[in-house]
Amino acid sequence: MNLPDDIDRAILRLLTEDAALSAGEIGRRIGLSQPATWRRIARLRETGVIAGERVVVDRERLGFGVTVFLGIKLATHARHSARDFERAVTAIPEVQVVQHVLGLFDYRLRVVARDIADFERVLRRRIMALPGVGNIEANVLLSEERRPGPL
């Protein structure tokens, strides 16, 4: 597959700011016809360059005041049961992100909770009950910022 060109990148820059923009509006801003812009957007979606959409929410206003990133190391004896761990951890509703990583930890999790007491409940009842969990490190998120990336 050919990598996206400069025009695709210009389209992506706009869509990563506001995915609701119409092909006509994007075309106007980058100097391309509506049909040509539409075709490029369709191709970016088909080829998976645009993987989906996300919506920015004010978690605090929705009652989720705490976000914690956990680094989890599986217990040495549990290495063979990583699949069980993965199945169980991805099913926890408070866990938004699960990444398999190499380094100090085996997995990174992003966990949302209503407050610190709620986080403690999730940690004790859900996370620590997962099969094969060894060490856990927690860092409370203070701020986050997504950057446009090399577009």
Partner 1 sequence: MLDDTDRRLLRQYLADPAQPASALAERAGLTTATAWRRLERLRAAGVIGSRKAVIDWRRMGYEVEVSLRFTLDKTTPRAFDEFLAAAREVPEVIAVETFLGRVDVRLNVIARDMAHYADLYRERILTLPHIVDIEALMLVATLKDHEELPL
Give which of 55, 42, 47, 40 is closest to 10, Cα–Cα.
40
Give which of 101, 68, 64, 76 is closest to 86, Cα–Cα.
101
Q: Does 18 bind partner 1 (CB under 8 A)?
A: yes
Q: Does 1 bind partner 1 (CB under 8 A)?
A: yes
Candidate list 5, 6, 31, 53; residue touching partner 1; CB under 8 A:
53
Q: Are 21 and 37 in contact (CB under 8 A)?
A: no
| CA 13, chain centre distance (Å) | 18
Give which of 49, 14, 50 is closest to 29, Cα–Cα.
14
Q: Does 46 bind partner 1 (CB under 8 A)?
A: no
Candidate list 35, 36, 84, 99; residue touching partner 1; CB under 8 A:
99
Q: Compare residues 56 and 77 and give the one whose CB is closer to partner 1.
A: 56
Each residue 26-45 as x (binds partner 1 by CB under 8 A) or -, in order, gives --------------------
Q: Does 138 bind partner 1 (CB under 8 A)?
A: yes
- The stretch among 24-32, 72-80, 93-101, 127-135 that binds partner 1 (CB under 8 A) is 93-101
- Which three-class secondary structure state does DSSP give residue 129? coil
